[in-house]
Structure 1
Amino acid sequence: MTSAPETPAHWASTRAFSRAVLLSGLFTLLGVALGRVDMVMLAAPFAIGAALGLRRLPSVTPTVRVAAGDENVVEGDVVDVALTVTNPDVVSYDLVVVRTAMSPWLELEHGDRPFALAAPGGRQADVELPGEALHWGRQEIGPAVASVTVCGGLIDLRPSISPARGVRVYPATQPFGAVEAMPAAAGLVGNHRSRRPGDGGELEGVRRFAAGDRLRRIDWRVSLRTRDLYVAATSSDRDAEVLLLLDVLGDVGPSGGIRGRPSAVDTTVRAAAAIAEHYLKSGDRVALFEYGRSGRRLRPAGGRRQYVVVREWLLDVQAGSTLQQSYDGALSNQRLSPNALVIVLTPLVDPRSAGMLATLARSGRHVIAVDTLPPDAAPPVRGPWTPTATELWRLERENVLSRLQEHGVPVVAWAGAGSLDLVLRGVSRLASAPRGR
């Protein structure tokens, strides 16, 4: 690590220096005016003390640096923060007062108070600030400010300021698993059973031997019993494509961090991280789309690298939208396989959310809506709401959920592991049913 360039010192006198100059000058003038030697002797200690204190002035300013033990942490993990003040001069500092700003979602031990240090010449002083990360996102520590006093408290150096240090706090993921088959598989290889015959591990039955069948597929027990060659028929194993659509048109409920109750956006981001982790570990391809202010998208891909990209992508999710914003074009430009599974994480409080789900359902895609609304949430508007008005709002929302289910969009509340098993079973059954032309 390269050292910071040295900055020439800029100093200012303190009140102690002003008092020393004032008292020594006052006693000297009085002694000369009144002809009293004792008054001059009283001024001597102040003058001599100030002269001895100023004989060695620092030539460069100190440097302050903010360091974090691990930039990539998860909600609830320990964050090790250190403030380092380096004295590049040979002159020792009498007192160093260092203080730093920090994100409210980083709970550091005594992090909001100033610390007093001593920094001898050519050495550094450290302040350890262990703490805990309480909320996902890009949190900042700093800037840090170090104020230095030298020359026995007579001189203050110009404060040194360090830039802020970013800490990436990834969302905590609950254990999630979907043991049900995907509605439709799209790729050539993977872990999901396909309805297309081929080499795989899922046995569908036996059939007569045909040209091109491999000898290792011969079922000898059935062949010996029927006096004819039969082979085991299997279905091919294929991967799937999953689109996680995050509805962040608005947030509902206050966010309490990892220790408190989650808001709708908190549940959305944490559920998206858990679902993406599950399907990427299964060898599937995962894409993300932010149905909100920015309309960001992440193209489908698989593997470990995609998991790292997904976690980084989720750090920048922000709730909000404009009144005239339209997402029809953005959704239509999202290049997805026609067999892709679309999982919409939504609190279903904005009318545009229900319209978006209906549009996806009419396009013939396999759509699942995951309800991320907190159980005790109130209407996302300003001003007091009576209990009767809140109950009417909830009834209206239940009507929206019922209409979506009537149009073939299953809605399930997010509950961690196994949340989507029942819904995936129903969607898979509908996908495998014969369709008329």
Structure 2
Amino acid sequence: MRPAAPGEEAVFAPADDIPEWAPTRALGRAVLLTGLLLITGVLVGRVDLVVLAIPFAVGTAVALRRRPRERPRIALTVDDAYLAEGDEAAAVVTVGNPDVPAYDLVVVRTRIPRWVRVEEGDRPRLLTLPPGGVEEIELRGPANRWGRHPFGPALARAAACDGLMASRPGIAAARDVKVYPVTEPFDADEAMPRAAGLVGGHRSRRPGEGGELAGVRIFGPGDRLRRIDWRVSLRTERLHVAATLSDRDAEVVLLLDVLAEAGRSGGVGGSASVLDTTVRAAAAIAEHYLHRGDRVSMLEYGTSARRLRPATGRRQYLTVLEWLLDVEAQPSPYEPYDQVFGPHLLSSNALVVVLTPLVDGRSAEMVARLARSGRFVLAVDTLPPAAAPPRRTGWSDVAHRLWLLERDNTVGQLREHGVPVVRWAGAGSLDLVLRDVARLASAPKGVLR
């Protein structure tokens, strides 16, 4: 991923016309002490108490001679570069003093995202701002997990008049930093089970313009001269042309099961949860097939039922990465909306890759329905080896082992129904399964008479 242009300049939020400053407790103590000394001195007739009150009164008056009118202005900007997991994210908090009096102290605090490791954390920063002064605070740290990570909101509160006046806080809205998933190496060398279009990178059984040699035949009307095989033509004394098979594209549907989350996410260098494995595997598979010229679409099996239409090219790859940033677990006791799997959305020729942990029984039923509909379905197991579903209070190790046995039975039943289930293991993990699916697709079908 290449970084884009630097982020836009900070734009300050306009200050209100109403005064935004209020007296502090220090001002109240100074006024109270001065008043007590003056009243006591007058009542008891002691001049020394009146003289003792004069410095407090003069000091307070001098400090308040130039009161500020506007609260500090603050803006938050983030770097708009394309970031992958492990790259350094950056944000800049800009604080300004639009008033004539100086700020004695400005306290700035910014909320830091959970998955961005900033060295100073979200501890308050202390500044002093002269009249018209501007200070910038730079926040940098590695982003350890994919997703949209909000920097902010940022807050700035100032004190002036020797600490006798304090402003209302200036607030800058949060800004999202986009961190894209790291695509694990993936390369499937096997052919697609069935291609749909006439242009693409897969070999078909239909003769046409392509790069796969199908044989040599006699020259006929409509054949191009560049296809003439001169060696065979000279030997047989008749024009022969090289026949080729057309290159066809395929549609790949990536179906993400987001009904349940299991395992603990440790970021890019730690353990992976179900969503981590699902998102990274989907990005890798989409990148591979889009690079080969195939159409890729995305579907979610969950309560929101999000969908990304099929398309090809680099723009679709960037759209897929943007779409994956919003993937989140959607547990629900209700049955997910199944009409997204209708024939108008899922082509009969498409290869449906279901990324599922098979933790919820509804997921296995969904995969079985897709297989019974006659589509080419491949289930990719995204459950980490050491992961388990969210345990209820009182769950024992025996109950956990029973759950594992039940899940193994579910996987076995899917395989008996003709649905291959394979654990995601990066490059080449789907080659053997795709070879079997392609062989089944090309096998002759029985016909009842």
Stretches of structure 2 lacking an aligned partner (at least 5 in a row): 1-8
Matched, 1:235 2:245: yes
Task: Name the CA distance, whole Å, in 2 between partners of 1:188 and 1:351.
Answer: 39
> Is the 1:14–1:156 Cα contact (8 Å) retained in structure 2?
yes
Which residue in the other structure is 1:287 paired with?
297
Match in the other structure for 1:109: 119
Match of residue 6 from structure 2? none
Give the C-alpha shift of residue 72 in structure 1.
Answer: 4.1
**Deviation at residue 341 of structure 1 after TM alignment:** 1.0
Gap runs ≥5 in structure 1:
none
Aligned partner of 2:15 in structure 1 is 6
Aligned to 1:29: 39
Secondary structure in 2 matching 1:173: coil
Indicate whether 1:414 and 2:424 are aligned: yes
Q: Which amino acid aligns with 1:210?
A: G
SS in 1 for 2:155: strand
1:140-164 deviations in whole A, cap 9, x for unaligned? 1211111110001111111112211
Deviation at 1:115, TM superposition (A): 0.8
Contact 1:379–1:390 (8 Å) recurs in 2: no
Structure 1 stretches (4+) deviating beyond 4 angstroms? none
Post-superposition CA distance 1:363-418 (Å, at most 9, x none): 22211111100101224442243323222222222222222222221111111122
Q: 1:244 aligns with which of 248, 254, 263?
A: 254
Q: What residue number does 1:51 align with?
A: 61
Normalising by the residue count of structure 1, what TM-score does the alignment of the two structures yield? 0.95
Give the length in aligned residue pairs: 437
Give the structure 2 partner of residue 257 of structure 1: 267
Give the drift of 1:22: 2.0
Q: 1: distance between equivalents of 2:217 and 2:394? A: 70
What is the match of residue 19 of structure 1?
A: 29
Residues 30-429 of structure 1 correspond to what in structure 2 (within 5 A)?
30-70=40-80, 72-429=82-439
Letter in 1 for 2:218: R
The alpha carbon displacement at 1:54 in A equals 0.3
- Normalization by structure 2: what TM-score? 0.92
> What one-letter code is carried by the residue in structure 2 that aligns with 1:206?
V
Inter-partner Cα distance in structure 2 for 1:263 and 1:254: 5
- Matched AA of 1:398: D
In structure 1, distance between residues paired with 2:50 and 2:343? 89
Give the distance between the partners of 2:338 and 2:161, measured in 1 at CA. Answer: 69
Aligned residue in 1 for 2:3: none
Partner amino acid for 2:333? L
Mapped contact 1:246–1:344 kept (Cα < 8 A):
yes
Matched-pair contact (CA < 8 Å) for 2:16–2:70: yes
* Counterparts in 2 of 1:179 and 1:15: CA distance versus 1, 3 Å: same
Kindly report the root-mean-square deviation, in angstroms, between the aligned alpha carbons of the 2 structures: 1.8
Q: What are the Cα deviations for residues 199-221 of structure 1, in whole angstroms up to 9, with x where unaligned?
A: 10111222233332222212222
SS at match of 1:278: helix
2:162 alignment partner, SS class: helix
User: Which residue type is aligned with residue 327 of structure 2?
Assistant: V
Distance 1:37 1:324, change over 3 A: closer
- Give the partner amino acid of 1:13: P
* One-letter amino acid matched to 2:14: P
Distance 1:131 1:435 in 2: 58
